[in-house]
Amino acid sequence: MAKLSLLLLLELLIFFTPSLSCPEYQKQALLNFKASLINSTTTTTSSSEGQRVLLFESWNSSSDCCNWERVNCSSSLGSRTVIALYLNDLVDQLPREHTVLTSNILTPLFHIGSLTHLNMSKNKIQGQLPSDGFANLTELIYLDLRSNDFFGSIPSQLFQLRYLQYLDMSSNNFHDIPKEIGNMTELRHLEFLDLSKNHLEGMFPQWLAEMEVAFIILSDNNLTSSLPPFLFNSINLNILSLSRNNFYGQLPSNIGNATSLMSLILNDNNFSGKIPDSITNLRFTILDLSNNKFSGNSLPDFSSNMLPQVIDLSSNELSGEISTNFSILTRVLSLGKNKFSGIMSTNLNNMRILECLDIHDNKISGELPDFICQISTLRILNLRNNSFQGSIHDCISNLTSLQILDLSSNHLVGKIPAKFGNFTGMIRTSNEPISDVPATLTPFSFQAKINDLIFNWKKSTQGLSWKNLMICSLLDLSMNQLSGEIPTTLGSLKALKVFNVSHNNLYGRIPASLGDLLNVESLDLSYNNLSSSIPKSLEKLQQLTILDVSNNKLAGRIPRGSQMDTMNDPNFFANNSGLCGMQIRVLCPEDFPPTKVPPKPPKVESKERWFSWEGVGIGYAISFIITVGVLYLAKYFVPATPPNYRRQQRRRRI
Ligand SMILES: *[C@@H]1O[C@H](CO)[C@@H](O)[C@H](O)[C@H]1NC(C)=O
Ligand SMILES: *[C@@H]1O[C@H](CO)[C@@H](O)[C@H](O)[C@H]1NC(C)=O
Ligand SMILES: *[C@@H]1O[C@H](CO)[C@@H](O)[C@H](O)[C@H]1NC(C)=O
Ligand SMILES: *[C@@H]1O[C@H](CO)[C@@H](O)[C@H](O)[C@H]1NC(C)=O
Ligand SMILES: *[C@@H]1O[C@H](CO)[C@@H](O)[C@H](O)[C@H]1NC(C)=O
Ligand SMILES: *[C@@H]1O[C@H](CO)[C@@H](O)[C@H](O)[C@H]1NC(C)=O
Ligand SMILES: *[C@@H]1O[C@H](CO)[C@@H](O)[C@H](O)[C@H]1NC(C)=O
Ligand SMILES: *[C@@H]1O[C@H](CO)[C@@H](O)[C@H](O)[C@H]1NC(C)=O
Ligand SMILES: *[C@@H]1O[C@H](CO)[C@@H](O)[C@H](O)[C@H]1NC(C)=O
Ligand SMILES: *[C@@H]1O[C@H](CO)[C@@H](O)[C@H](O)[C@H]1NC(C)=O
Ligand SMILES: *[C@@H]1O[C@H](CO)[C@@H](O)[C@H](O)[C@H]1NC(C)=O
Ligand SMILES: *[C@@H]1O[C@H](CO)[C@@H](O)[C@H](O)[C@H]1NC(C)=O
């Protein structure tokens, strides 16, 4: 019995073995590829030799090439031919400094006409792409040449590969797309075309507009033209990404004919005119028209789109009231940096999943709309630099998910609601990514990049990427006319990184509870009427890099210890009523060494003295500063302190 089955096995082996190995000419072509790969790396060190052998170890002439790494063969009985080559990321595994791959390396592969999948991505291959070679690879379905250094024209032969579905040539240095493909093209199955991140010049190719390609990604090039209306008669067009080119003109009015379009990403171009009304026929998930010159004083009505969506119309010239309706499934609504004015007459209260409302840098007036309080999903509310007036209603504190609240540069009056201390989004950092915007919006391998949010972060304007949003929390109420005291409750916002209430009319003490803002990196209380001393509790702030309390009525010793010792920019303490401390190199009265100080005027210890320093005669001020200078030189100053520092300080004092 055992003998019989062994015999059978043997027979089977004999029968199948010859037809189960790859054709000799294909093996030879692959061995030639390996040889030229090895030839491309200069053999200097023995370690590089070792790496190379490791990489293509299995590629030896005595074995079947269908068993080699990175090689797939067809599995049809009778004939086994090479159909897939995964030759991506070779450079990473070769000794980089010795390796320069040129496009000649592809030559042997053009003999393998049976290839359907070829992945040559991320190899930094230099040179022009050989044109006639690809004409041989008539069976190709997937071709991935992204992240190389190919330059010149994209060979028109590629567009005659009739089975090609997926063509990724992004991140190279290609200069032109062949213009005269016309009806020469045999491509009938192309679904995915990514030519982004090249140096392509010229117009949007007419022939491409006439094809039914589902993914067209041409972002980050130098293309200049208006968009051919024909493009939007495609019923397959799914993603159109043309960011960062020089496209111009109006969007074709038939844009709504492209009913499969789910991502329309046209940011950073020079498009102008009205946003066509037919855009509302689209059921998109991303509409990014930011950084163009779109104008018009009414927006299309987006309410019929029932897909979760991101709408970014920021940085355009849109005007009039924001009165249109948006879909209740909007996640991100960015209308910032336009010319919107009037009151917010749209009603967003039924928004079920809105996480980001950003309308900064417009001229919107009126009171803060109450409907905002009902968008309980909001994590980002940015109304910076508008003309909102009236007081901040308590109900804003119902938005417990808020992580970023920016109401700065408006005309708001009244108190900071004590209930702001209840923003749970600012109390504990969330590990949830902001929306799963990028995740849900990445069909296939397409990654939509949503514009950074722009905030004032530590005295400068900064873009905050969506990736970082989940760890970032910010409260900016600066540049209003808010009055009253800073509520003690704000101390509970432990996740805050930026706290800015500067340029208001706040008075009273700085609450000691601000010392509980354990994550705060920037604390700006400047330009208010805050009095008394800086609470000692601020010593606890280990993350603090900016503390600005200038232009208040503060007095007394600046707390010392850990980060507080590094808060030594005198501008951030200027114009107060007698602050002192090593940070600003001003000695506090109790620090005067009894012997060196001129006889103190009576009652120097009393608080009153602090306030009257400025009124003291010039002679006293100078001698005081000089004493301080000498003392500090000995005690605190590092030798490298610029000598003109004391002069500066004296000037300010006098
Ligand atoms: C290796 O490179 C040299 C010179 O660059 C060339 O003459 C030779 O034909 C190459 N050999 C292979 C196998 O590609
Ligand atoms: C060739 O590779 C196979 C494994 O794929 C290995 O068994 C064989 O020993 C190798 N032959 C030589 C000559 O390196
Ligand atoms: C190649 O083989 C791998 C592993 O067996 C498989 O996952 C992959 O789908 C194959 N590729 C093709 C194009 O058949
Ligand atoms: C090619 O390889 C890269 C890895 O470098 C991979 O991300 C990509 O999906 C592959 N392309 C195709 C078409 O399979
Ligand atoms: C195309 O394939 C044929 C047959 O394998 C071969 O003779 C020819 O050299 C190939 N063309 C190129 C440009 O490699
Ligand atoms: C394209 O095809 C049409 C007929 O289908 C023909 O009339 C026209 O001349 C062709 N154009 C080019 C550039 O070949
Ligand atoms: C785009 O074209 C302009 C003028 O033709 C040129 O100055 C610029 O460098 C180009 N940019 C890129 C990224 O190729
Ligand atoms: C495209 O839309 C326009 C109206 O904007 C319509 O008149 C035309 O028939 C549509 N074309 C196709 C092919 O659907
Ligand atoms: C944008 O278009 C306007 C006309 O609409 C033109 O004047 C301007 O030069 C263009 N800007 C760029 C950068 O192409
Ligand atoms: C918004 O929707 C309401 C009804 O829900 C409707 O009365 C109003 O006209 C719509 N506004 C716009 C600008 O379409
Ligand atoms: C805010 O929450 C309070 C309860 O804390 C509730 O009474 C009030 O109706 C809410 N306001 C709004 C506008 O949702
Ligand atoms: C809000 O904070 C107050 C104290 O300021 C507290 O009494 C109240 O329970 C908090 N409300 C919620 C909903 O957390």
Mean pLDDT of the region 51-74: 82
| 288: helix, strand or coil | strand
Mean pLDDT of the region 363-376: 92
Task: Give the Å distances, CA to CA, from 181 to 162, 225, 304.
Answer: 13, 18, 39
In a domain, 575, yes or no: yes
In a domain, 583, yes or no: yes
In a domain, 217, yes or no: no
Task: Give the Å distances, CA to CA, from 43 to 33, 34, 263.
Answer: 17, 14, 49
In a domain, 24, yes or no: no
Residue 96's pLDDT is: 58
Ligand with an atom nearest the CA of residue 71: 3
Q: How confident is the model at residue 460 (pLDDT cuts 50, 70, 90)?
A: low
Mean pLDDT of the region 294-315: 91
> Cα separation of 202 and 436, whole Å?
36
Rg for the chain (alpha carbons), in Å? 34
Specify the range with the lowest mean pLDDT, choosing from 78-92, 171-185, 227-241, 257-271: 171-185
Q: Please answer whether residues 68 and 92 qualify as being in contact, where contact means their C-beta atoms are separated by less than 8 angstroms.
A: no
Ligand with an atom nearest the CA of residue 297: 10
Q: In which residue are the tokens 């951030």 written?
A: 572
Q: Is the CB of 301 under 6 A from ligand 10?
A: yes
Residue 225's pLDDT is: 95
Q: Which residue has the higher pLDDT, 61 or 349?
A: 61
- Going from the Cα of 193 to the center of ligand 11, the distance in angstroms, rounded, reads 50
Q: Say which residues have a Cβ less than 8 Å from residue 652's Cβ, sequence separation at least 6.
A: 570, 574
> Cα separation of 563 and 540, whole Å?
8
Question: Could you tell me which of 129, 204, 144, 213 has the C-alpha nearest to residue 174?
Answer: 129
Residue 405's pLDDT is: 93
Mean pLDDT of the region 206-219: 90
Mean pLDDT of the region 364-380: 91
Instruction: Encode 151-168: b = buried (16+ Cβ within 10 Å), e = exposed.
Output: bebbbbbbbbbebbbbbb
Residue 495 has pLDDT above 50, yes or no: yes
In a domain, 184, yes or no: no
Residue 32 has pLDDT above 50, yes or no: yes
Q: How confident is the model at residue 347 (pLDDT cuts 50, 70, 90)?
A: confident
In a domain, 357, yes or no: no
Q: Please answer whether residues 513 and 495 qualify as being in contact, where contact means their C-beta atoms are separated by less than 8 angstroms.
A: no
Q: Is the CB of 199 under 6 A from ligand 7?
A: yes
Residue 470's pLDDT is: 62
- Going from the Cα of 269 to the center of ligand 9, the distance in angstroms, rounded, reads 9
In this structure, which residue's CA is closest to atom 3 in ligand 9? 270
Specify the range with the lowest mean pLDDT, choosing from 370-379, 419-428, 438-447: 438-447
Name the percent of the chain lying above pLDDT 90.
52
The ligand 8 atom at the shortest distance from the C-alpha of residue 278 is 5
Q: Which residue has the higher pLDDT, 618 or 338?
A: 338
Residue 14 has pLDDT above 50, yes or no: no
In this structure, which residue's CA is closest to atom 6 in ligand 6? 183
Task: Please return the burial class of 644, using the count of CB atoms within 10 Å of its CB with bins 0-12, 13-18 and 19+.
Answer: exposed
* Amino acid occupying residue 185: T
In a domain, 311, yes or no: no
Checking DSSP bridges between strand 481-484 and strand 505-508, what pairing results, if any? parallel
HEC profile of 348-408: CCCCCCCCEEECCCCEEEEECCHHHHHCCCCCEEECCCCEEEEECCHHHHHCCCCCEEECC
* Amino acid occupying residue 438: P
> Cα separation of 373 and 353, whole Å?
14
Ligand with an atom nearest the CA of residue 493: 12
Residue 29's pLDDT is: 94
Residue 77's pLDDT is: 64
- Going from the Cα of 407 to the center of ligand 11, the distance in angstroms, rounded, reads 20
- Going from the Cα of 509 to the center of ligand 11, the distance in angstroms, rounded, reads 30
Residue 2's pLDDT is: 52
Residue 338 has pLDDT above 80, yes or no: yes
- Going from the Cα of 539 to the center of ligand 12, the distance in angstroms, rounded, reads 27
The ligand 6 atom at the shortest distance from the C-alpha of residue 183 is 1
Residue 266's pLDDT is: 95
Residue 619 has pLDDT above 70, yes or no: no
Residue 579 has pLDDT above 70, yes or no: yes
Name the percent of the chain lying above pLDDT 70.
76
Task: Give the Å distances, CA to CA, from 400 to 405, 421, 429, 499.
Answer: 11, 10, 13, 17
Best residue among 376, 399, 420, 422 to mutate for probing ligand 12's pocket (most ligand atoms within 8 Å of CB) is: 422
In this structure, which residue's CA is closest to atom 10 in ligand 11? 395
> Cα separation of 86 and 121, whole Å?
9
In this structure, which residue's CA is closest to atom 1 in ligand 3? 72
Q: How confident is the model at residue 646 (pLDDT cuts 50, 70, 90)?
A: very low
Residue 46 has pLDDT above 70, yes or no: no
Q: Is the CB of 61 under 6 A from ligand 2?
A: no
Specify the range with the lowest mean pLDDT, choosing from 42-46, 157-161, 293-297, 463-467: 42-46
The tokens for 34 are 């390996």
The tokens for 36 are 């030229």
In this structure, which residue's CA is closest to atom 4 in ligand 10? 325
- Going from the Cα of 348 to the center of ligand 10, the distance in angstroms, rounded, reads 12
Residue 615 has pLDDT above 90, yes or no: no
Q: How many domains does the chain have?
A: 1
Q: Is the CB of 58 under 6 A from ligand 2?
A: yes
Residue 626's pLDDT is: 31
Vertex 197: Cα angle to 202 and 274 (nearest 5) = 60
Task: Return mean pLDDT, the chain.
Answer: 81
Residue 370 has pLDDT above 70, yes or no: yes
The ligand 4 atom at the shortest distance from the C-alpha of residue 117 is 13
Residue 305's pLDDT is: 87
Q: Which residue has the higher pLDDT, 177 or 220?
A: 220
The ligand 11 atom at the shortest distance from the C-alpha of residue 397 is 1
In a domain, 516, yes or no: yes
Residue 437 has pLDDT above 60, yes or no: no
The ligand 5 atom at the shortest distance from the C-alpha of residue 136 is 1
Residue 454's pLDDT is: 67
The tokens for 602 are 């009576």
Q: How confident is the model at residue 574 (pLDDT cuts 50, 70, 90)?
A: very high
Q: Is the CB of 270 under 6 A from ligand 9?
A: yes
Residue 100 has pLDDT above 60, yes or no: yes
Ligand with an atom nearest the CA of residue 399: 11
- Going from the Cα of 326 to the center of ligand 5, the distance in angstroms, rounded, reads 57
pTM of the shown model: 0.82
| 242: helix, strand or coil | coil
Checking DSSP bridges between strand 192-194 and strand 309-312, what pairing results, if any? unpaired
User: Which structural domain, as residue segments, surrounds residue 517?
Assistant: 453-589
The pLDDT tens digits of the residues spanning 228-282 come to 999 999 999 999 999 999 999 999 999 999 999 988 999 999 999 999 999 999 9
Q: Which residue has the higher pLDDT, 19 or 368?
A: 368
> Cα separation of 647 and 460, whole Å?
28
- Going from the Cα of 303 to the center of ligand 9, the distance in angstroms, rounded, reads 32
**Domain CATH number, residue 522:** 3.80.10.10
Residue 526's pLDDT is: 96
Ligand with an atom nearest the CA of residue 445: 4
The greatest distance separating any two alpha carbons of the chain, rounded to the nearest whole angstrom, comes to 119
Residue 629's pLDDT is: 31
Q: Is the CB of 136 under 6 A from ligand 5?
A: yes
Residue 115's pLDDT is: 94
Mean pLDDT of the region 585-589: 86
Residue 604 has pLDDT above 60, yes or no: no
Residue 281's pLDDT is: 92
Residue 344's pLDDT is: 87
Q: Please answer whether residues 509 and 531 qualify as being in contact, where contact means their C-beta atoms are separated by less than 8 angstroms.
A: yes
